[in-house]
């Protein structure tokens, strides 16, 4: 097989499945594992693919994602190569496509073992968040947050946190707040993701003015949004996150 991954989280999962030789191309954002990022052929960004480079690699399988890659690129590539298009909007979707990818690349048994392990780990920590109401920020200028029908919403919801945003998948903050004049008293926690926008400590003060009653925490965006190998880190990370929230409440 000659596999090209157009999705950073899936590239790491292919590495976990042991496809060192089979994967011939990745995007410039596929930073895990670092050895692949350094040595594999890069085929552009997730939304700015170098189609000539992809064609030159003559892949037998391209793995893409409906959200991360452009529709036009996928349609074009699908006329020449086999494309597995993933569409992951929930935790269950992630489990489903991890198995589907495993079967498509000849690693069915290993993918079943991996997903079974994930499910056991997740089951042991279900609902640790205690229905704490949150907003999860992914961008600035303007601010954008995560809404329903997304992997992030589903993941945090599984662990017990409740998303204040109930409208679009990734709406502007102003659109969310315009629906409720009492938001200041309803949002318990603000999560600032470390990616795709690199929120830092300096952004906390700015948001604290908007949400004076909310606890604000910078979270690992890869653990919260990368479906694949990084999911193995999620249960323990969510447990630590809840402890951090509880500590802020006591302080």
Q: Which of the four pLDDT bands, split at 50, 70 and 90, describes residue 130?
A: confident
What's the pLDDT at 249? Answer: 66
Q: Mean pLDDT, to the nearest integer, of 203-213?
A: 94
Residue 121 lies in a domain: no
Residue 128 lies in a domain: no
Which residue range forms the structural domain that includes residue 21?
Answer: 3-110
Residue 32 lies in a domain: yes
Residues 87-112 have pLDDT tens digits of: 999 999 999 999 999 999 999 999 99
Residue 124 lies in a domain: no
Both 69 and 144 in one domain: the answer is: no
Residues 8-51 have pLDDT tens digits of: 999 999 999 999 999 999 999 999 999 999 999 999 999 999 99
Both 141 and 206 in one domain: the answer is: yes
Residue 95 lies in a domain: yes
- Write out the two tokens for 215: 């606890």
Both 138 and 92 in one domain: the answer is: no
Q: How many helices (H) and strands (E) does the chain have?
A: 11, 10
Both 91 and 163 in one domain: the answer is: no
Residue 116 lies in a domain: no
Q: Which of the four pLDDT bands, split at 50, 70 and 90, describes residue 154?
A: very high
Both 24 and 106 in one domain: the answer is: yes
Q: Which of the four pLDDT bands, split at 50, 70 and 90, describes residue 127?
A: confident
Which residues fall within 8 angstroms of residue 199, CB to CB, at 6 or more apart?
137, 140, 192, 193, 218
Residue 126 lies in a domain: no
E strand residue ranges, the chain: 3-5, 23-26, 41-42, 61-65, 83-86, 133-139, 144-145, 162-163, 189-193, 215-219
Both 74 and 172 in one domain: the answer is: no
Q: Which of the four pLDDT bands, split at 50, 70 and 90, describes residue 248?
A: confident
Both 102 and 138 in one domain: the answer is: no
Residue 185 lies in a domain: yes
Contact assessment for residue 115 and residue 98, using Cβ atoms and an 8 Å cutoff: yes
Dist CA 41 CA 47 (whole Å): 17
What's 32's domain CATH number? 3.40.50.1980
Both 140 and 198 in one domain: the answer is: yes
Choosing from 75, 110, 145, the residue where a domain stops is: 110
Share of the chain above pLDDT 70, in %: 98
Number of domains within the chain: 2
Both 106 and 141 in one domain: the answer is: no
Q: Which of the four pLDDT bands, split at 50, 70 and 90, describes residue 188?
A: very high
What's the pLDDT at 125? Answer: 75
Q: Mean pLDDT, to the nearest integer, of 140-161?
A: 96
Both 100 and 144 in one domain: the answer is: no
Both 166 and 98 in one domain: the answer is: no
Both 87 and 145 in one domain: the answer is: no
What's the pLDDT at 120? Answer: 93
Looking at the predicted structure, is the pLDDT value of residue 184 above 80?
Answer: yes
Residue 230 sits at the vertex; the CA angle it makes with 101 and 173, to the nearest 5 degrees, is: 105
* Torsion angles phi and psi, residue 44, rounded to 5: 100, -170
Q: Which of the four pLDDT bands, split at 50, 70 and 90, describes residue 251?
A: low
């Amino acid at each position: 097989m000659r596999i090209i991954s157009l999705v950073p989280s899936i590239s790491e999962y292919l590495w976990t499945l042991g496809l060192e030789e089979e994967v011939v191309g990745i995007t410039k954002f596929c930073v895990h594992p670092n050895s692949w990022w350094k040595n594999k052929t890069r085929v552009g960004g997730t939304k700015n693919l170098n189609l000539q480079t992809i064609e030159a690699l003559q892949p037998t399988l391209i793995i893409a994602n409906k959200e991360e890659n452009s529709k036009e690129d996928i349609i074009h590539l699908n006329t020449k190569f086999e494309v597995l298009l993933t569409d992951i909007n929930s935790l269950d979707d992630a489990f489903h496509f991890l198995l589907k990818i495993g079967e498509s690349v000849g690693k069915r048994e290993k993918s079943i073992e991996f997903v079974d392990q994930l499910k056991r780990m997740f089951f042991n920590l279900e609902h640790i968040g205690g229905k704490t109401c949150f907003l999860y920020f992914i961008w600035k200028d303007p601010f954008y947050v995560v809404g329903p029908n997304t992997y992030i919403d589903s993941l945090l919801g599984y662990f017990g946190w409740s998303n204040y945003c109930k409208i679009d998948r990734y709406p502007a903050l102003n659109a969310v707040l315009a629906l409720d004049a009492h938001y200041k008293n309803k949002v318990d926690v603000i999560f600032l993701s470390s990616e795709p926008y690199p929120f830092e400590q300096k952004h906390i003060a700015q948001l604290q003015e908007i949400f004076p009653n909310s606890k604000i925490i910078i979270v690992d965006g890869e653990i919260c949004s990368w479906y694949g190998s990084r999911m193995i880190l999620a249960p323990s990370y969510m447990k630590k996150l809840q402890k951090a929230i509880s500590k802020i409440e006591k302080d």
